[in-house]
Chains A and B, each alone.
Chain A
Amino acid sequence: MKRRQFIQSASATSALGAMGLMSGCATTGGTHGPKVVVVGGGYGGATAAKYVRMWSDYGIQVTLIEPNASFISCPISNLVIGGSKTMADITTSYDNLVKRHGVNWVKDYVTQIDPDKRVVKLAGGSEVPYDRLILSPGVDFMMESLPGMNKAGAQDKVLHAWKAGAQTVALRKQLEAMPDGGVYALSIPLAPYRCPPGPYERACQVAEYFSKAKPKSKVLILDANDDVTSKGPLFKKAWAERYKGIVEYRGKHNAVDVDAATNTLKFEFNDDVKANVLNVIPPMRAGEIAVKSGLATANKRWCEVDFLTFESKAAKNIHVLGDSIQIAPAMPKSGHMANQHGKTCAAAVVALLSGKTPNNMPIYNNTCYSFVSSEDVVHVASVHAYDADKKTMLAVPGSGGVSSAANELEGRYAMAWARNIWADTLA
């Protein structure tokens, strides 16, 4: 069946099933029906891949291009750095996407998009055609803003650990090797960056480790922002009470260069800082494939999208979601939010490929838990609804908020959140 015929026949949701591609055939992925290619198997892309399959009654073919062997979660990864969780705890297989949902997983990465021919070219040399393309490439680091990071070996020594994986393990090893009485310095870029409260949670995790294993050591937070960007009072309370004498916070410290040989940070306005372990989170922009495809139209950093469909404002039939997008007001760059983008985009893509009008009243929430110790947690929550006049997502007035205080009950809810979102994204 050709695509045009498909669109004409798909006047009811069951039409997709009538093609004989219902869930019974899910494991095959199907060889008929419209083609969706998803680039990136993180929270946004994996969710979109699963939900396009599910919500098309397994009638739309989905190919996921993801080079990593498994999904490694950034949320909870700070606990691996703190030592209370392992990499196995934050790693999930892509098997269910393939076996249960019939997603064609191609372990490769995209080097080029041809929007006219509607194909993506892979590093391995092959081409994959699409009717609609969903890009969820996450973030890449603007290493040009820290010239010293481009010297040989610098990036192996001065870690970001801001994409969970090998660097998460490597940073933990650096902390374990650090002598008691040493200084761990954490450099935070100007917002927007991936996971606003993440750096402050990391400071807590390292401080807890130091308090138990290396009590003479210090955590020095060097923040380019004027002040803590998320859950400020709650984090400051943790530093003042739980980690007194260990954590020091300095705002308005915008790092402009790194000397990896001497572990020294240089700032726009402040004196140099030298540390035993230097953890630099560089400024970020949309994932490279989105930038080089001309989709990062906001300051050449972020991709502007239509919030009803997540279709790029710069290219037809290409949708962008997750951390790569130019966010709506008060919308964080978070895994939870990327999962919500994935589902909103999936519903729109299924509608568009069936000749229907996408939903016009999206509403979804963000919940974000931060561990101030290995057990106690603080949250921030928000609800975002589409504003038809402003054509963007806005926080619903009167909704959302933060924890009144760090508590162990929310520590258990945070792990329940992790189990549930991993399953919603991947199982």
Chain B
Amino acid sequence: MKNWLYFGSALFCLATSAQAQNNAPDPMQVRSWAAGCSNCHGTNGRAEAGNEALAGANKDDIVKKMMDFKAGRKPATIMHQLAKGYSDEQIVAIAGYFAAQKK
């Protein structure tokens, strides 16, 4: 869990939040959080044509994209609005889940 605290300035701010000082979130909870993305990105991140597959993607890449969406640095139609609904900790956990899935 320590690694990602130093990922970038956006994440560093998170280290001060109450949530980040807790232990890593329950894996079953993380699986359900990730399942909330599968409507568009496929069950376990294995997407149908037209949307980005997340299964087996690099965790840091997913986190960076989501943080950029959240901060408005990356142009988007919808992801900038959705990314703002998730805490940095949730984004890191969900990214970890998808990175661990088979492509």
Contacts and interface: CB of A to CB of B under 8 A. Distances in A.
Interface of A: 51, 54-55, 336, 339-340, 343-344, 347, 351, 356, 359-365, 367, 379, 381-385, 396, 398-401, 403, 407, 409-410, 412-413, 415-417, 419-421, 423-424, 427
B21 to A, nearest CB: 16
B82 A381 contact: yes
A399 B28 contact: no
B40 interface: yes
Nearest to B47: A420
Interface in B65-89: 77-78, 81-82, 84-86
A420 B82 contact: no
Contacts of B86: 363, 383, 396
A409 B81 contact: no
B81 A416 contact: no
Contacts of B38: 343, 420, 424
A44 to B, nearest CB: 12
B85 A365 contact: yes
Contacts, number: 109
Given A383-B86, A400-B85, 11 more contacts: A367-B40, A385-B85, A399-B82, A400-B81, A403-B77, A416-B40, A416-B49, A419-B50, A420-B41, A421-B40, A424-B42
A55 B28 CA distance: 10
B48 interface: yes
Interface in B30-56: 31-33, 35-43, 47-51
A230 B78 CA distance: 17
Nearest to A403: B77
A99 to B, nearest CB: 16
Contacts of B26: 359
B85 A367 contact: no
A264 B84 CA distance: 47
Interface residues of B, number: 29
B36 A365 contact: yes
Contact of B32 (A362, A410, A416): A362
Contacts of A339: 39
B77 A410 contact: yes
A413 B51 contact: yes
A385 B85 CA distance: 8
Contacts of A361: 25, 29
B29 A420 contact: no
Contacts of B41: 420
Contacts of A383: 82, 84-86
A232 B99 CA distance: 39
Given A381-B81, A399-B82, A347 B28 contact: yes
A394 B86 CA distance: 13
A413 B78 contact: yes
Contact of A343 (B25, B36, B51, B82): B36
Contacts of B32: 343-344, 347, 359, 362
B77 A367 contact: no
Given A367-B78, A381-B78, A423 B48 contact: yes
B50 A413 contact: yes
Contact of A412 (B35, B36, B50): B50
A222 B32 CA distance: 40
A423 B43 contact: yes
Given A347-B28, A359-B26, A424 B82 contact: no
Given A420-B48, A423-B42, A396 B85 contact: yes
Contact of A399 (B36, B51, B85): B85
A407 B75 CA distance: 15
A-B complex: 5 closest residue pairs judged by Cβ atoms: A383-B85, A416-B50, A399-B85, A364-B36, A396-B85
Given A367-B40, A420-B47, A399 B77 contact: no
Contacts of B28: 347, 351, 356, 359
A420 B42 contact: yes
Contact of B51 (A344, A362, A420): A420
B55 to A, nearest CB: 13
Contact of A363 (B33, B42, B50): B33
B51 A416 contact: yes
Q: Name the residue in A336, A400, A410 with the highest tally of chain B Cβ atoms < 10 Å from its Cβ.
A: A400
A379 B36 contact: no
B76 to A, nearest CB: 10
A344 B41 CA distance: 17
Given A343-B35, A359-B26, A403-B77, A419 B48 contact: yes
